[in-house]
Chains A and B, each alone.
Chain A
Amino acid sequence: MNEGHSRALFPDMTSGRWSLAVLVVLALAAFPLVESNQYILSVFVTTMILLVMNMSWNFILGVAGVWNFGQLAVYALGGYGAGILMLHTGLPPVLDVVVGGLIGAAVSVLMAVPTLRLFGIYTSLLTFAFAEIVQYLILNDGSGLTGGSYGFPSVKGLYSFLSPVASMHAYYWTLLGVIVASTVAIALVTRSRLGIALRAIRDAPAFAAARGVSPLRYRILAFGLSGFLAGIAGALYLCFEQSIDPSIMGLTPMSLDVTMLVIGGLGTIFGPAIGTTIVTVVETVLVNHPGVQLTVVGIFLLVIVVFVPGGIVGLVGKVRARLSAWAEEGEEEAEEPEATEGVAPAGGTAGALDPIAIHDTTGAPTDVAP
């Protein structure tokens, strides 16, 4: 999952890492050619769809730090929107997917406006309430537009003109492409003015406001971007499954997605990929023991949050930082005993006010400016 195109602009993207990233992407791309088991391929595709959704959520939850628990409703509405278009208009399916993304963006922005006045836990309650309402409205929709609790009427999807095997491959590569592209895009956005502003608003709202960083503008932009990606994910889900139903929302899917993000490392570039993979593997291995399955996931979540605050990406970063610090210590011990001590700001609050510290909190280990 180390497709490293995202590091293109980053000084720490060595040629070795580049090759590794390209290699991983190529290996993933070649996988369908050697794996003929359609079930396994379909697990990969659904996982990748979920990953796109998780990446969109990670952006708003981790990078922007807005406790949005309504993302699954955005995801679902993107899917439903694309489905309705697909069923009732003759637009090319690709356009339906794009419109699904736009619907996601619009819904997300709509949800963003009331959250601007709220903080922390209240935001999560508001967005969660919104998602619940969406789910209930769809569940009890008797008009036939969404299919209600029975699920959406069957649609053709993106690749109905291909044979089943070819279409599976096509979805696989489409998703891989979307993931690589959105990873690059998210990495760039996180590095941009917008990303810095969002993290400033997240870590030190007062400081950000004093510096003229407007939460209104940046948050709505962030919600829009994240909603667009979620909508795309929902539309792709609809296309691949050829249907969609309200059970993709609600408490259980939400808790799984949150677990994926937290385990991987909230707010990091590769955290969603790592978390989604781990949880999917656990789910797949224990598929015959639903109780044990989610118990294990829950324990995982608890242990990670309590003992490994940065998730697995954060842990890897810490280990690496300690290793390199240890190596440097060995080299420079004789000359510079306490080079960096004493500059560190005191306490958490001071740290949060330090723009460099804000920079550091992305959690991605290699992001730390030299």
Chain B
Amino acid sequence: MSEPLLSVRRLSAGYGATTVVRELDLEVRAGESAVIIGPNGHGKTTLLRALNGLIRPSAGEVLLDGEEIAGRPSEQIARLGAVLVPQGDGLFPEMTVEDNLLMGAFLGQSWRDRRRSLAHVYDLFPGVKARADQQARTLSGGERRLSALGRALMRPSTILMIDEPSLGLAPVALDAVYGAIAELKSAKTTILLVEENFTHVGGIADSIHVLEMGSITRSGSYKELSEDEGVVAAYLGSIT
């Protein structure tokens, strides 16, 4: 086995005096799609924010492709190919959808490459293309999520992180979003995805990690964990 692409060791992070993520260990291999599930408030979003430099970890190390990134500012981590679709989508509300997408290609590309990526994203998400000239704040929740996902595809990623793609979406939009993620997985994109429960991730998860009280308490394949009664009772039954 080669080195893991992302390797997190004893990472702690939080806000002010409150530690949310505690001594967390995690590994994601290249090409793998890893899913973290866990209840709200147990540190999923905090973990992604810390991994992407939006908050400064208080302890621990994070290696991305062999480079230590813990404590670096997010613009530097982005340069190494980390891409995050943050909670709330993080679209620029007063920009058009197209400008939002173009911002996704901010890092080092020629204009033509940007246009090419744009065409690619529009191919992938025709619904986004239809909204190209609309201001992002006027979009519906599903359109917004797809636009954010599309923006994340505007530059090549070493790892694509997605914070709760199902959050607040209607079933139809949900299918579109997860359909897109499934396509990304089949294209061998390395994905680290966070969800509250098992419900939607069955088709895409290579590995599942349970995040409770700031640490990973269980790890395994989807199959292993979906047969674990404790895990299933906690994380499968909540959404009908």
Contacts and interface: CB of A to CB of B under 8 A. Distances in A.
Query: Do A and B share a direct contact in the complex (Cβ within 8 angstroms)?
Result: yes
Interface in A301-350: 342, 344-348, 350
Contacts of A350: 16
A345 B15 CA distance: 10
A227 B15 CA distance: 41
Interface in B1-49: 14-18
Contacts of B16: 345-348, 350
A353 to B, nearest CB: 13
Contacts of A344: 17
A342 B14 CA distance: 14
Interface in A346-365: 346-348, 350
A348 B14 CA distance: 13
Nearest to A341: B17
Contacts of A342: 17
Interface string A193-235: 0000000000000000000000000000000000000000000
Nearest to B19: A346
Nearest to A342: B17
A368 to B, nearest CB: 19
A348 B18 CA distance: 12
Interface residues of B, number: 5
Interface in B121-143: none
Main secondary structure of the interface of B (DSSP, over half): strand
Main secondary structure of the interface of A (DSSP, over half): loop
Contacts of B15: 346-347
A137 B15 CA distance: 52
A314 B18 CA distance: 26
A170 B16 CA distance: 55
A348 B17 CA distance: 10
A342 B16 CA distance: 11
Interface string B64-96: 000000000000000000000000000000000
Interface in A261-311: none
A338 to B, nearest CB: 12
A344 B14 CA distance: 14
Nearest to A348: B16
A281 to B, nearest CB: 40
Contacts of A346: 14-18
A344 B19 CA distance: 13
A97 B16 CA distance: 51
A347 B15 CA distance: 6
A346 B16 CA distance: 5
A342 B17 CA distance: 8
A32 B16 CA distance: 53
B149 to A, nearest CB: 30
A350 to B, nearest CB: 8
Contacts of B17: 342, 344-347
Contacts of B14: 346
A344 B16 CA distance: 10
A281 B15 CA distance: 44
Nearest to B14: A346
A221 to B, nearest CB: 34
A31 B66 CA distance: 73
A350 B15 CA distance: 11
B49 to A, nearest CB: 14
Contacts of A348: 16
Interface string A123-134: 000000000000
B182 to A, nearest CB: 38
A345 B17 CA distance: 7
A300 B109 CA distance: 46
Contacts of A347: 15-18
B15 to A, nearest CB: 5
A342 B19 CA distance: 11
Contacts of B18: 346-347
A339 to B, nearest CB: 15
A135 to B, nearest CB: 38
A33 B15 CA distance: 59
A256 to B, nearest CB: 37
Nearest to A344: B17
A306 B68 CA distance: 32
A348 to B, nearest CB: 8
Interface string A35-74: 0000000000000000000000000000000000000000
A348 B15 CA distance: 10
Interface string B188-204: 00000000000000000
A4 to B, nearest CB: 35
A99 B17 CA distance: 53
B12 to A, nearest CB: 14
A347 B55 CA distance: 13
B55 to A, nearest CB: 11
Interface in B153-187: none
Among B14, B15, B16, find the residue whose CB has the most chain A CB atoms closer than 10 A.
Answer: B16
Nearest to A351: B16
A350 B16 CA distance: 10
B60 to A, nearest CB: 19
15 contacts: A342-B17, A344-B17, A345-B16, A345-B17, A346-B14, A346-B15, A346-B16, A346-B17, A346-B18, A347-B15, A347-B16, A347-B17, A347-B18, A348-B16, A350-B16
- 3 closest Cβ contacts across the A-B interface? A346-B18, A347-B16, A346-B16
Interface of A: 342, 344-348, 350
Given A346-B15, A346-B16, A346-B18, 12 more contacts: A342-B17, A344-B17, A345-B16, A345-B17, A346-B14, A346-B17, A347-B15, A347-B16, A347-B17, A347-B18, A348-B16, A350-B16
